[in-house]
Chains A and B, each alone.
Chain A
Amino acid sequence: MSTATATRTTTKKPIITTVGLTKTFGRGETAVPVIEAMDVMVGDGDFTCIMGPSGSGKSTLLYALSGMDKPTGGQVLFDGRDITVMSSNQLARFRAAECGFVFQQTHLVDSMDVLDNVLAAGLLTGRRSAVVPQAKQVLETLGLDRTLWRRFPGQLSGGEAQRVGVARAVVNSPRVLFADEPTGALNSAAATGVLDALSSLHTAGQTVVMVTHDAVSAQRAQRVLYLRDGAVVGQLHLDPYRGPDPGRQQRTRAFLQQMGW
């Protein structure tokens, strides 16, 4: 199966499609191409995981798909709209309405409490009367009860802080949730909590695109894209995650070993 065919294969209606996506850092003689002419498709409702060695372009691809970073060439079609031609303000509004982000370092605002961190994103697109109850419900769903709502990020554990990050990302019911190594800075117990949260959201219909270099995290996905040198060199399809499954784990590891991981 060719790379192009592999990356376009998805059982779901595509929500994100790239055409000849290219990203180069630097200029002239110091230019470094990170992604070259990549065609990728993300299905609506999919849990897509992007893996690969350091420097393969995982995060670059993630931020290009989400409009966080402008590609050097090619197109990124989000639900049919080319986001590469949007202005800075248009992209900001696009991200507010369509995307949610979970970062490795959580990147919560230290000076605001848990609830305010979530609402700062939520109130961008909704009224307080609707967003506040929504935010509280999301926090409770993610296992963050009201005793934690007035705490500051510095007063939370790593797992709690990351779940607040997840709540912030989904409070506006984004079309796609982007997660960049969400468990990278967590211990295994906390990481499991976050992955469980992402899996629950996916089960409820949320489209998730996650970058990870952790095989355990990759098992949560339905589709794993393996990148090397700025291109997709392999793809793995899995059934929807139902819980720990030794067979699933074995298949994932075998794929990754085949990719040279």
Chain B
Amino acid sequence: MNAWTIAVKNLRRHKGPAIALAVLTALGSALLAAAWSVLAEGSTPFDRWKSDHHEADVFISPADRAATADLLAELADDPQVADTVALPYLDLSGATVDGVDTPLFFVQLAPERDLSPTVVAAQDSTVPAEKAVYPASSLRSGYQVGDDFTFTFNGIEHTFTVAGFSQSLLDDSYLAPAAFRTLAGHAAEGQQVTVRLTDPDQAKTWTAAFNDAHEADGTSAAAYDQFAAQAATLNATLAGIVLALAVILFTATVIVVAFQVSHRVRQNLPLHGTLKALGYTSGRLRRAQVAEYLLVAAPAVLLVVPGGIALTGLIQILSAQLLGIAIPLRFHPAQAALTLAVLVGVVVVSVWVATRRLRRVTPVDAIRPGGTTRRPRVHWFPLDRGIGSVNQRLAAKSLLGHWRKAGLVTVVVAVQGLLVGVAAVFSANTVGDTTRLFAALGQESFDLLVVPASGADSDALAGELATVEGVRQVVAAGGLVGTVGTTARTPVKVYDDPARLEFLRPYEGRWPTAADEVALVKTAADSDDLRVGDSVHLTVAAVTQTYEVTGLYSSPLGGESATLAADGARRLDPAYTSSFANVYLEDGAQRAAVKRAVETRFGLVGEPVATAADPRWAAAQERAEQLIGDYLQIRGLDSVEYAVDYQGEIIMSGTSRAYRVAEVLSFDVIIDQTADAASAITTVLIALIGISAVVLALITYTVIDSVIAARRHDLGLFKAVGYTDARLRAQITTQLLPPAAVGTALGVMVAALGASELMGALVPGFRMAVPVVGLVATSLGFLAVIAATAWVTARRVARIQPYELITE
């Protein structure tokens, strides 16, 4: 018989393991191919998207509407600008859809222009223009063209008809011009200017220069590339995770194959001895083993292309869910073929190595039972003394006698435990409390920001806010605008009592408490090479004072350069008073619930008293814009949506109830985005846990099968002298638990420590909490998988008949 004939005969006898191996090979190759395809694409899909959908190169947010005309004139004179479009937008960040807070941002559609900022998909021209809405991709779920799109804003319900869907990468929704006009009186309106450059590759450079030139007036630009880069990074992250899964499967395949081949060679020594006695060479027998694996891998060839296409599609779907748009990704069959060839090649080499024992097999092995097999002699765990039952001690002896197999289990479980442990630690710390993460990132953050009505007493408000359930601490705050050292004019945060921030620590030093102390944002400190203990000048208007630097921190929200205590602020502006309150919530408190509680207690939700038709509207709008302008100076944000009234005072007007808004500032959008990303990562991590369990089960099955085969003679003998099947199964299962427990403990412990160190390296000062319960549960889960698989696999001891062994 040639090697292939022998291989086919062997395969017929081992159908189950062959199928498992074929699946492993195909899955590992498909995952590798999918990940490789995505990584190889890089940012190309996004460039294609941008080209296909005529997205702009740069988006500009003018400081106010009045500046738009000047801006357009400026851009018209810029030789690098090919075209500009100015579109009004409405910011409805306090809107609710079906009772759920759903920030809405509507841009007026300009389809009559060739330079449309977006391509609107599936347009329905039968929808009346005054009703036509094109929801953003993130809102698309559950709607079809022709459906009503209803939302509530400031207590007024608005209904439009879905005429198509926006595919803007910025997740903007669009309204037909007529529809836009019907909504315009109900929300703050701004202008968005989109720019296409003559050389799109210069977008980043042009944007940086534009922002430098407009630093003082608050107009800011953003290059499309930053979104594409973020999307490309996200895609690469997803692909990287898939790659990690592929590597795990790849490694598992190699280990399982090598293990099975090695154990089968040992198990069939008499057969191989007989074949050698008949004249078969070692080479032919080894080639038969290789041929057997190649026959197993053959179906993988058929599976790898559809599998790779499906997995690439899955990455595309995940990416779309996170980005809100579908980025086309292509699967490359040539790369799939290459990865399969690499995987099969590596496994073939490992099979060849695993069969080297065949060189030592002699015809004598055919006639001497057990052949040249040597089992190690184990004096440890003698049966005449020590603790434990005879079964446990026999299990311990077997464990030491098969220490290589035990070591394999320990290593595999440790690696799985490490991967899953890191995943569990990261997801527990990022999904659970993103505010804490931001607090650690910036050491200056808050859960809610409450702006009192005009004339309201901020200190009294802070005191009352502290009584709201879920509120841990309220610190009255405000701000100035000035220069810090050599920085340009920037906001300076002021806390009335920084000592209340004992639960937030700058990553170096402390918050200022005295009138001559200041804490600096790290970037501001670095620009002047300032450290804790140094002196720095702060200037507000024409007043300059000197302060001692007591701490360094960073702000994830951007904008400010320093933090002062109230007394320190009054050295620069004697009229300084706090103008809002930072609210910090208890661990586990729901931000949305506390927000509603504050709104309910301190102001009415919804029910505007007046609309744009009301003659008092203009005055109310002017007051709102004044407040927004002040706040912009303090926080450096693009916009602020709402403020709360207090003690019956309404924000817009001291005496009239012209326009009542009742919302509390929060940064849910940023935190929710982080939570969304973390949720997506968690989904992938759960898949990682699932695959880890499968790998563990496979390895356990292989090891137990090998142990039973190696101990077949001993097990038959034990049966002959009276050991029951259950006792032997327990013995075999028990011997695997100690190495599994050691491996799990090692992997999870290293994960807990390593993840903390890794996060600390990425985010200075971040103290990562170790989810002990989660890690213990993961460890116990792994042990349960191993024990269950071992117990089930050990059923085959029932097939061992003592009579057959004795008469062999």
Contacts and interface: CB of A to CB of B under 8 A. Distances in A.
Interface of A: 59, 63, 68-69, 88-89, 92-97, 99, 101, 103, 105, 107, 109-113, 115-116, 119-121, 123-125, 128, 132, 135, 150, 152, 154, 168, 180
B724 to A, nearest CB: 4
Contact of B807 (A59, A92, A115): A59
A105 B713 CA distance: 12
A88 B401 CA distance: 28
Interface in B328-379: 369, 375-379
Contacts of B390: 119-120, 123-124
Interface in B391-448: 394, 397, 401
B725 A89 contact: yes
B403 to A, nearest CB: 12
Interface stretch (B458-466, B611-619, B632-640, B715-723): B715-723
7 contacts: A89-B726, A107-B713, A111-B377, A111-B397, A116-B397, A119-B390, A120-B721
Nearest to B722: A96
Contacts of B556: none
A161 to B, nearest CB: 14
Nearest to B375: A111
Contacts of A109: 714, 717
Between B385, B713, B722, B723, the greatest number of chain A beta carbons within 10 A of the residue's beta carbon is seen for B722
A95 B725 contact: no
A10 to B, nearest CB: 26
Interface of B: 369, 375-379, 382-385, 390, 394, 397, 401, 713-714, 717-726, 798, 802-803, 805-807
A115 B383 contact: yes
- Majority-rule SS of B interface residues: helix
Contacts of B401: 111
A81 B714 CA distance: 29
Contacts of B721: 95-96, 101, 120-121, 124, 168
Contacts of A96: 721-723
A89 B718 contact: no
B382 A115 contact: yes
A63 B721 CA distance: 12
B806 A103 contact: yes
Given A95-B722, A121-B722, A124-B721, A68 B803 contact: yes
Given A92-B719, A113-B377, 13 more contacts: A68-B802, A68-B806, A96-B722, A99-B722, A101-B721, A111-B375, A111-B714, A120-B394, A123-B383, A124-B721, A125-B722, A128-B383, A128-B385
Nearest to A100: B721
B382 A116 contact: yes
Contacts of A89: 724-726
Given A95-B720, A101-B721, A110 B375 contact: yes
A92 to B, nearest CB: 4
Nearest to B719: A92
A64 B378 CA distance: 35
Q: Which 5 A-B pairs have the closest CB atoms?
A: A96-B722, A119-B383, A123-B390, A121-B721, A69-B803
A116 B722 contact: no
Contacts of B376: 111
Between A69, A94, A125, the greatest number of chain B beta carbons within 10 A of the residue's beta carbon is seen for A69
Contacts of B369: 105
Contacts of A63: 803, 806
Contacts of A99: 722
A107 B806 contact: yes
Between A99, A111, A119, A125, the greatest number of chain B beta carbons within 10 A of the residue's beta carbon is seen for A111
B397 A115 contact: no
Between B382, B397, B401, B798, the greatest number of chain A beta carbons within 10 A of the residue's beta carbon is seen for B382
Contact of B723 (A68, A97, A124): A124
A89 B726 CA distance: 8
B487 to A, nearest CB: 76
A112 B713 contact: no
A115 B384 contact: yes
A257 to B, nearest CB: 29
A119 B724 CA distance: 16
Nearest to B373: A110
A112 B378 contact: yes
B699 to A, nearest CB: 24
Between B375, B383, B713, the greatest number of chain A beta carbons within 10 A of the residue's beta carbon is seen for B383
